[in-house]
Structure 1
Amino acid sequence: MTILMTILGIVVFAIGLLVSIAWHELGHLSTAKLFGIRVPQYMVGFGPTVFSRKKGDTEYGVKAIPLGGYIRMIGMFPPGPDGRIEARSTSPWRGMIEDARSAAFEELEPGDETRLFYTRKPWKRVIVMFAGPFMNLILAVAIFLGVMMSFGMNTQTTTVSKVSDCVIAQSENRTTCEKGDKAAPAKAAGLEPGDKILAYNGVQVDQYDVLQSKIRDSGGTATILVERDGVRKTLHADVIRNQVSKTDGNGGYEEGKYVTAGFLGFTPASGIVRQSFGESVDQMGSMMENGVESMIALPSKIPDLWNAAFDGGERKQDSPMGVVGAARVGGDVFNLDIPPENQIAMMLFLVAGFNLSLFLFNMLPLLPLDGGHIAGALWEALRRHVARVFKRPDPGPFDVAKLMPVAYVVAGVFICFTLLVLVADVVNPVKIS
């Protein structure tokens, strides 16, 4: 049964992956056709074609390896200075440029002269290239908001899960009380597991982060209104100052960093809590911020990935995952001992997170990513604007093909990083609980 559920989880994630890729390419396809650019192919996957059908001047199909997708647009790069595309240099760097330029024209047909990508105004090219990642962002937002507002998300609540027996500075990394430790204020006040804190110092609280902030900002005698077995009780605690973990502002903690703040001494219970639209939007904002920070931090995670892949090191929970790792997590989700609706919600969150990552990754201003083509179009618009302001000749379209040597280097780095993540995902995968 475990193997069957694992396979089911992997298959469900694979379907979500294919839908996400198809949705991404649909953004490119629809806007390209809107602006009159000819698109010979729309493909989901790579490798041998499993199925295809031609409609109009576009071939639609599915390929055997579901790890990506693409559309082919005519005239992605302008012709060379001599106006010809068949010129070939013996220089390997020039060869890369000319190969890219030739590929952009290899399916040129009579009448296509007015349907070339590079002949469109820069703002139209920006829209075409941005439309793909934007579709992933739309899908991510729709899934995240839908799940958070209809089902909810695992959140720390104001209900007490555990009451500390004594006061221990968190930097000491111990949980056992020692002789001389003071009794925790919550314990002394009579707070018990299962109590739901309704108000703190006369202020109603229904979110744990608000309650936590008020406790940390307080000191001395505090009044706590709780609900216990359906009956409301008022407790009085002498809040003390203690060394506690520093919060990151997003509901988590900064590892190894501490602050001195008000301390009550209890652990909150977690539960599935439906989010309002405003709360869901705030959560999405935090996810976007964390996603950008994770992208910036990718190079710093390579040593840990290498150790996890080849030296048996610990695979951290925030370690980068590839498609294989995410698929394994999808299989793990369907094996968790939780209600089916929780499994579905977790799987949807996984697919939404994948789409958010696709958006952020593709927006990097590097070829061959969509962001590289966007940067090229914006640079062309800037050059032409400057030329008009200073009444200089129009510099013409910016030849993005000249950046292909850089694109090959970037692609090489991405491939190496992807292979490293793949090895780590296979031999030392990220596990969930």
Structure 2
Amino acid sequence: MTTLMFILGIVVFAFGLLVSIAWHELGHLSTAKLFGIRVPQYMVGFGPTIWSRRKGDTEYGIKAIPLGGYIRMIGMFPPGDDGRIVARSTSPWRGMIEDARSAAFEELRPGDETRLFYTRKPWKRVIVMFAGPFMNLILAVGLFLTVLMGFGIQQQTTTVSSISPCVIAQSENRDACKASDPASPAAAAGMKAGDRIVSFDGRGTNDWNTLSDLIRDSAGKTVPLVVERDGKQLTLHATIATNLVAKKDAAGTYVQGQYVKAGFLGFSAATGVVKQDFGESVSWMTDRVGDAVDSLVALPAKIPALWDAAFGDGPREQDSPMGIVGAARVTGEIATLDIPASQQLAMFVFVLAGFNLSLFLFNMLPLLPLDGGHIAGALWESLRRNLARVLRRPDPGPFDVAKLMPVAYVVAGIFVCFTVLVLIADVVNPVKIS
């Protein structure tokens, strides 16, 4: 049964992956057609075609390997300086440029001269190339909101899990009290496990972060606490101690190994699944986007540890880069967890949402062959044309993105090597969640 559920989790992820890819390419397709660009193919997957159907100018289909997708637009690159599109050079670098240029025109038909991608204004080309990643961003936001507002997320609550008998600096890393340790304010006030703190010093406490900040800011004060116990509300009074406690960053996350002096009540908060309102959801997603950007910037620095995890005896860190195989294994593992089905579904959706957010950020890198590379090329063309107009110089014409194809091949080669490294690590030393 466990194996069956593991396979089911992988199948669910594979389906979500296909939908995400198709959704991405739909953004490119719809905007290209909106601006009159001819699109001969819209394909989900790579390799041999297993199904296709032609409608109008476009062949729609599914290919055998569900690891990507593409649309083909005619005239992605402008003709060469001589106006020819099939000239072939003996130089390998020049050959790459001319191969790319030739491929962009290989399905040119009479009347297509006005339907070429490169003939569209730069702002239209930016929209076409941005539309794909933007669709992934829309999907990620929608999925995150579904989980945050519909299912809720695991977090600390205002319910008391346990009471600390004494005041111990959190930096000391000990549980046992000494005779010299003063009683904790929570214990002295008569708080008990299971109490839900309704208000603190006259202010409502609906979430843990609010309560935590109020406690930290009240060192030395005697404050009234309203707790709910067995369906009744009781008012307790506690003199908040000053203690060395874990530092929190602007997002309310504890900073590992750093401590500050602040107010201390002396209890552990229970955790539970809590639904977020729209404002809290937006704040949470903003923090996650920031985390994702930081992770993308830090990606090169993680390669040595990833190599050691794949080919050495190094551990696989929880924040280690993970590919499609790794994500599929995680979803398979989620399906086998002994948790409510609603929480399994929420975790599935979270993984898929994170995958779409990663697709958006990765594709926005200003490097060919990524969408961000074509966007950068269109923006550069717009800049130099506008600059020429202001300086009353001749129009420099379209920027020939094809000239960057040698760089694109190098970038693609690096991506392929990195993908293979992640794949090996995902197979031999996968990230695990349980």
Q: Same fold (TM over 0.5)?
A: yes
Q: Which residue of 2 aligns with 1:237?
A: 238
CA distance in 2, matches of 1:397, 1:146: 43
Cα drift, residue 251 of structure 1: 4.1
What amino acid is the match of 1:246? K
Q: Which residue of 2 aligns with 1:162?
A: 162
Per-residue CA deviation, residues 388-427 of structure 1 (Å, 9 max, x unaligned), is 1111100000011111122112112222222222122112
Per-residue CA deviation, residues 194-217 of structure 1 (Å, 9 max, x unaligned), is 111111112111010111111111
CA distance in 2, matches of 1:314, 1:171: 26
User: Structure 1 residues 185, 432: closer, same or farther in 2, change over 3 A?
Assistant: same
Cα drift, residue 228 of structure 1: 1.2
Using the size of structure 2 for normalisation, the TM-score is 0.96
Q: Which residue of 2 aligns with 1:8?
A: 8
Q: Which residue of 1 aligns with 2:147?
A: 147
Cα drift, residue 176 of structure 1: 4.0
State whether structure 2 residue 399 is matched by structure 1 residue 431.
no
Helix, strand or coil at the partner of 2:235: strand
Taking the TM superposition and a 5 Å limit, the aligned residue runs for 1:325-340 are 325-340=326-341
What amino acid is the match of 2:50? V
Calculate percent identity across the aligned residue pairs. Answer: 73
CA distance in 2, matches of 1:432, 1:251: 23
Gaps of at least 5 residues in structure 1 are: none
Per-residue CA deviation, residues 163-186 of structure 1 (Å, 9 max, x unaligned), is 223333333334444554443332
Per-residue CA deviation, residues 320-376 of structure 1 (Å, 9 max, x unaligned), is 211111111111111111111111111111111111111111111111110110011
Using the size of structure 1 for normalisation, the TM-score is 0.96
User: Structure 1 residues 157, 168: closer, same or farther in 2, change over 3 A?
Assistant: same
State whether structure 2 residue 225 is matched by structure 1 residue 224.
yes
User: Structure 1 residues 49, 336: closer, same or farther in 2, change over 3 A?
Assistant: same
CA distance in 2, matches of 1:381, 1:370: 17
CA distance in 2, matches of 1:105, 1:172: 70
User: Structure 1 residues 229, 2: closer, same or farther in 2, change over 3 A?
Assistant: same
CA distance in 2, matches of 1:85, 1:277: 53
User: Structure 1 residues 162, 305: closer, same or farther in 2, change over 3 A?
Assistant: farther
What amino acid is the match of 2:119? T
Gaps of at least 5 residues in structure 2 are: none
What amino acid is the match of 2:300? P
Q: Which residue of 2 aligns with 1:375?
A: 376
CA RMSD of aligned residues (A): 1.6
Q: Which residue of 2 aligns with 1:353?
A: 354
What amino acid is the match of 1:341? S
Q: Which residue of 1 aligns with 2:311?
A: 310
Per-residue CA deviation, residues 70-107 of structure 1 (Å, 9 max, x unaligned), is 00111111111111122222222222211211111122
Q: Which residue of 1 aligns with 2:111?
A: 111
CA distance in 2, matches of 1:426, 1:306: 13
CA distance in 2, matches of 1:81, 1:250: 54
Cα drift, residue 153 of structure 1: 1.9
What amino acid is the match of 1:42? Y
Q: Which residue of 1 aligns with 2:266?
A: 265
Per-residue CA deviation, residues 301-328 of structure 1 (Å, 9 max, x unaligned), is 2222222222232222222211111111
Helix, strand or coil at the partner of 2:81: coil
What amino acid is the match of 1:425? D
User: Structure 1 residues 243, 410: closer, same or farther in 2, change over 3 A?
Assistant: farther
Q: Which residue of 1 aligns with 2:67?
A: 67
Taking the TM superposition and a 5 Å limit, the aligned residue runs for 1:51-200 are 51-178=51-178, 180-200=180-200
Helix, strand or coil at the partner of 1:224: strand
Per-residue CA deviation, residues 277-317 of structure 1 (Å, 9 max, x unaligned), is 22222222122222212211212222222222222322222
